[in-house]
Amino acid sequence: MADFQIILGWLGLYAPMALGAIGSIMGCAIAGQAAIGAMLDTESGYGRYVGVSAMPSSQVIYGIVIMFTLNRPVTVDNAPGLFAIGVLAGCALLFSAWYQGQCCASAIHASKAKPEIFGLSIAPAAIVEGFAVFAFIFALVISAGIPGLAS
């Protein structure tokens, strides 16, 4: 049982990074395809399409920071905490990146036909980013209560 708990602890340690990366891969791939598609249909504005399509990459950075914050010797005492925070924060980052990618794709698709709405069209993606930031900040805050961090 103790070994299993230790495994869960390690899983939680790496989960924010891995799940955040998966989310960013999915989000950037979706938005990136929309950007390439838009380039085929327009004569200008390529740079901003590519810029928007990179928005979901921030989640992997949040994941890396959470992973380093959680990083400590894994013991039976702190493994459940590491697992819970790591996996839940990772899931939040994964889904936020995924759906942010969809928002970015829609923004690119919409602003292609109506360039004047470009700024406003990325607002939904920014709101989704806000939720990822919540998950990130509170993972950092709550991780301070997990035992085992060297002082």
Summarize as ranges the residues that interact with another protein (CB under 8 A).
Answer: 26, 29-30, 33-38, 40-41, 101-102, 105-106, 108-109, 112-113
Q: Which is nearer to another protein, 48 or 112 (CB)?
A: 112
Q: Which is nearer to another protein, 38 or 128 (CB)?
A: 38
Smallest distance from the beta carbon of 100 to another protein, in angstroms?
A: 13
Q: Which is nearer to another protein, 17 or 30 (CB)?
A: 30
Smallest distance from the beta carbon of 118 to another protein, in angstroms?
A: 15
CB-based burial label for 113 (10 Å; 0-12, 13-18, 19+) = exposed
Smallest distance from the beta carbon of 48 to another protein, in angstroms?
A: 14
Nearest to 62 by CA among 136, 10, 12: 136
Q: Where do the H-state alpha helices sit in the chain? A: 2-41, 46-53, 58-70, 79-113, 118-121, 123-143
Query: Which residues lie closer than 8 Å to 112 by C-beta, 6 or more apart?
Result: 38, 41, 42, 45, 49
Smallest distance from the beta carbon of 109 to another protein, in angstroms?
A: 5
Smallest distance from the beta carbon of 3 to another protein, in angstroms?
A: 36
Q: Which is nearer to another protein, 26 or 92 (CB)?
A: 26
Alpha-carbon span 135 to 63, nearest angstrom: 10
Q: Which is nearer to another protein, 37 or 80 (CB)?
A: 37
Alpha-carbon span 81 to 13, nearest angstrom: 10
